[in-house]
Structure 1
Amino acid sequence: MTNLLVNIDVDDLDRAIRFYTGAFDLRIGRRFGGAGVELLGANAAIFLLVKPADHLPFPGSTSPRSYARHWTPVHLDFVVDDLDAALARAEAAGALREGDVAENAWGRIVMLSDPFGHGLCLIQFSAEGYDAIADR
């Protein structure tokens, strides 16, 4: 079996804890001094890791880490039972909406960004979910 860990780089741990616990009903598991915290309550552990802005993220990188809004093909999707309630909670915690709620055969989705520039989505599946568009 493969275990999945989700690591989210942030430059302000207290702010990140407030956002992710407030927006998604996650709770603190372990703390790693000032270097990070484990969040529980999703089906994979989420680790907030303190990484300063303007430092190179990996050897050979030519672009320093930035917490301005950025695009990456890898992002978090939070599956929720009530998208409207989850959206209100996420926005109240500091998420920025990046478009209208979209209706699809498989369900509803809204795109957001967290206070650290990371993209994320809220998804409320229809009864069929992705099976509504799956080739059979």
Structure 2
Amino acid sequence: MINIDVPHLDEATAFYTEAFGLRVGRRFGDQVVELLGGEAPIYLLLKKEGSQAAGHDVRVYSRHWTPVHCDVVVDDIEAALARAVAAGAAQEDRIRSTRWGRIVQIADPFGNGWCLLQFVGRGYDEIANPD
């Protein structure tokens, strides 16, 4: 499962359902919304900006770098990108083509980085090392 801290639960729910075609599963009070329809469930966790995060960090919701990001695999990258941008995502680069497929980087309205991937041919098997 994937947990994503957000400053506004209703805005985040609207973004993720519209941008990625997810649907609301369960609600846990007014602090957590479960989103279904992807490879793993996503839990949106209401956390105020400036509140204590990991270590000595505080939460910020401007664009930030993290060594962890999520990829959304799509059938049509142009349509998926248009849907995400219409829902409030920022496109951060052009769509790039590779041997395994196509990729574009986006950021959600809360500063989290995502990639949209469209596999072609055999996907990652196009570049996998032989056994």
TM-score normalised by the shorter chain: which range applies?
over 0.9
Deviations 1:93-123 (A, max 9, x none): 0000001001000100000000000000100
Query: How many angstroms does 1:128 deviate by?
Result: 1.2
Q: Which residue of 1 aligns with 2:3?
A: 7
- Name the counterpart of 1:119: 113
Q: 1:77 aligns with which of 60, 71, 82?
A: 71
Confirm or deny that 1:28 pairs with 2:29.
no
Q: How far apart are 1:22 and its partner, in Å?
A: 0.3
Where structure 1 has 5 or more consecutive residues not aligned to the other structure, the ranges are none
| SS of corresponding position for 2:4 | strand
Aligned partners of 2:56 and 2:13: how far apart in 1? 29
- Deviations along 1:8-53, one digit per CA (max 9) or x if unpaired, are 1000000000100000110000001110100011121110000111
Q: Does 1:107 align with 2:101?
A: yes
| Matched-pair identity in % | 56
- The CA distance in 1 between the partners of 2:64 and 2:29, in whole Å, is 28
Distance 1:19 1:96 in 2: 12
Amino acid in structure 2 at the alignment position of 1:57: A
Q: Could you tell me which residue of structure 2 aligns to residue 96 of structure 1?
A: 90
What letter is aligned with 2:4?
A: I
Q: Structure 2: any 5+ residue segments left out of the alignment?
A: none
**Please, what is the CA RMSD of the aligned residues?**
0.7
Letter in 1 for 2:42: I
1:68 matched to 2:68: no
- Corresponding residue pairs, total: 130
Q: What is the identity, as a one-letter code, of the residue corresponding to 1:72? A: T
The 2-side partners of 1:14 and 1:36 are apart by 10
Report the 3-state secondary structure (helix = DSSP H, G, I; strand = E; otherwise coil) of the residue aligned with 1:9. Answer: strand
Which ranges of 4 or more aligned residues in structure 1 deviate by more than 4 Å?
A: none
- Residue 37 (1) aligns with residue 39 (2): no
